Amino acid sequence: MAVAKKAIVWGLFAAGGTVSSFVFPALITLFFLIAVGTTPDGLQYEKIHEFAASFLGKACLFIVISLSLWHAAHRLRVVFHDLGVRKDKVVANAVYLAAFVGTAMTAFYLFLIR
Amino acid sequence: MSKRQIELEVMRYDPEKDEAPWFQNYEVPCEEDWAILDAINYVKENIDTTLSYRWSCHMMVCGSCGMMVNGEPSLTCKTFIRDLPDKVRIEPLENFPIERDLVVVLDNVMEKLQTAQPYIIRKDPPPSDDKEYTQSRAALYKFKQYTMCINCMCCYAACPQYGLDQSFIGPAALALAHRYNLDSRDQGKAQRLDILADHDGVWDCSFVGACSEVCPKSVDPAAAIQQMKIEGAKEFWKQKLSGGKS
């Protein structure tokens, strides 16, 4: 016996949970602030674009988006299990493939920002 | 002291006679300070001697009187009449096969407790007879709460994952393993994680947390399992990076 490969996806799930629990409440607050028309200066399009074009900005966005995807994927897999779906392999392959594709697309589109 | 009339709705099942479990009602005149176990003992002594259930110490130490009280896994010696309505439903612990009435078959969990290797494992030779393993108070407090488990199995009755899949090692056994993993005198963490972080181990827990909520001894098995997942993830990479077992 050995430690199961589930350790990898659980590690990504845990890291994603930690990151998203910090970042997403702030994002939701900002979303409402912008929706009622009070966009802070630092969040104007040009500033955000400048941030996303820098290496540090790209790295931050990549970490937040990809880890959140892996977190969501693993959470969905567990939800399917809790709901009594007994096709763990199929579910796991589907959700992790989605997270993988999402991660690759995140990297690709971040690379395009200049 | 005034008496209070309680209606006990008790699940009965005799596998030799009954096709399915059924409920029998008993009217019990209870003293105000009684625990549910006192009411069940009253039934056994005064109303129906055929009722089967387990109990021993009546003081939250032996862990044998765990039952479902109004649907909640509870130690019946610690669940008091004064906190309950006039009608109380008593059932055997959920997720276990019934042996008879309120007695359940615990073999599956007893085997699982063994897989936790609940003893101190040393790679070094033991100290000589006149020397002991020393431990600081701070090191003791790291794992002390996990030593409080009395194997009442309320956590298994509460665990939805164990209910779905009985191959899951489950809360008490994992908390017990964690107790030894955290012990400063122990050197068997990698050996335990090899089994407990395998497929039926910690990863099957989806952190519902019901085990910790129902624990009558305030052990926190859910936290133990999450901490073991972190250790398991670390151990996985340690094994991968060192090209085999550490």
Domain boundary among B104, B131, B157: B104
Confidence at residue A34, expressed as pLDDT on a 0 to 100 scale: 86
Residue B229 is part of a domain; what is its CATH number?
1.10.1060.10
Rounded to a whole number, what is the distance in Å from the CA of A24 to chain B's nearest CA? 21
Q: Would residue B189 be called left, alpha or beta, if left means φ above 0 and alpha means ψ between -120 and 50 degrees?
A: alpha
Residue labelled with tokens 């959140």: A68
- Does residue A27 belong to any structural domain of this protein? yes
Q: Which residues contact B137 (CB under 8 A, 6 or more apart)?
A: none
Place of tokens 């000589």: B128
Smallest CA–CA distance from A78 into chain B, residue: B206
Closest-CA distance, A92 to chain B, in angstroms, reads 13
Higher pLDDT, B150 or B131: B150
Residues B176 and B232 in one domain: yes
* B24 belongs to a structural domain: yes
Say whether B236 and A82 touch across the interface (CB within 8 A): no
Q: Give the domain range for residue A90.
A: 10-112
When the pLDDT of each residue in chain B is averaged and rounded to a whole number, the result is 93
Asked whether residue B224 falls in the same domain as residue B130, the answer is yes
For residue range B148-185, list pLDDT tens digits in order: 999 999 999 999 999 988 999 999 999 999 999 999 99
Query: Which of B104, B127, B146 is at the close of a domain?
Result: B104
In chain A, how many H helices and how many E strands?
Answer: 4, 0
B167 in reach of chain A (CB within 8 A):
no
Establish if A4 belongs to a structural domain: no
- Indicate whether B145 and B217 sit together in one domain: yes
What are the phi and psi torsion angles at B68 (to 5°)?
-85, 120
Instruction: Please tell me the predicted confidence (pLDDT) of residue A44.
Output: 85
Identify the pLDDT of residue B153.
Answer: 97
Which secondary-structure segment (H or E) carries B143?
helix B137-143
pTM: 0.87
Length, in residues, of chain A: 114
Give per-residue burial for A80-96: e unless 16+ CB within 10 Å, then b.
Answer: bbeeeeeeeeebbeebb
Question: Cβ A78–B206 below 8 Å, yes or no?
Answer: yes
Residue A50: CATH number of its domain: 1.20.1300.10
Q: Is residue A5 part of a domain?
A: no
Q: Which chain A residues have a beta carbon less than 8 Å from that of B231?
A: none
> Which residues face B68 on adjacent strands?
B73, B91
Domain end residue (candidates: B86, B104, B122): B104
CB-nearest to B206 from A4, A7, A82 is: A82
Residue of chain B nearest A5, judged by CA positions: B236
Does residue B210 sit within a domain? Answer: yes
- pLDDT for B244 beyond 70: no
Q: Taking CA B108 as the corner, what is the angle to CA B103 and CA B111, rounded to the nearest 5 degrees?
A: 125
Same domain, B113 and B228: yes
pLDDT at B246: 45
Give the pLDDT confidence score for residue A107 in this predicted structure.
Answer: 96
- pLDDT greater than 80 at residue B243: no
What is the predicted ipTM? Answer: 0.77
Q: Does residue B82 sit at the A interface (CB-CB below 8 Å)?
A: no
d(CA B22, CA B40): 17
CB contact under 8 A, A3 and B160: no
Residue B246 sits at the chain A interface (C-beta within 8 Å): no
Residue entry with tokens 């971040």: A110
* pLDDT single digits (tens) B71-82: 999 999 999 999
The residue in chain B having the minimum alpha-carbon distance to the alpha carbon of residue A80 is: B206
Assess if residue B246 is contained within a domain: no
Taking residues B180-206, report their average pLDDT.
Answer: 90
pLDDT at A1: 52
* B160, B164, B236 member nearest A7 (Cβ): B236
The mean pLDDT of B195-209, rounded to a whole number, is: 88
> Quick one: B75 and B168 in the same domain?
no
Helix (H) or strand (E) holding B159: none
User: Which residues form the domain of B86?
Assistant: 3-104
CA quadruple A81, A87, A92, A97: dihedral, nearest 10: -130
* Average pLDDT value for chain A: 91
Would the pLDDT of A94 be above 90? Answer: yes
Nearest beta carbon to residue A2 from set B206, B237, B239: B239
Q: Is B45 helix (H, G, I), strand (E, B) or coil?
A: helix
If one counts the domains in chain A, the total is 1
Same domain for B116 and B96, yes or no, is no
Q: Quick count: other Cβ atoms within 10 Å of Cβ B87? A: 11
**How many domains does chain B divide into?**
2
Q: Quick one: pLDDT at residue B47?
A: 97
| Residue B233 contacts A where some CB pair is shorter than 8 Å | yes
8 Å CB contact of A7 and B194: no
The answer to whether residue A58 scores a pLDDT higher than 90 is yes
**C-beta atoms of A3 and B198 within 8 A:** yes
Across the interface, whether the CB atoms of A10 and B198 are under 8 A apart is answered no
Contact flag B195-A7 (C-beta cutoff 8 Å): no
End-to-end Cα separation, chain B, in angstroms: 64
| Residue B245 pLDDT | 52
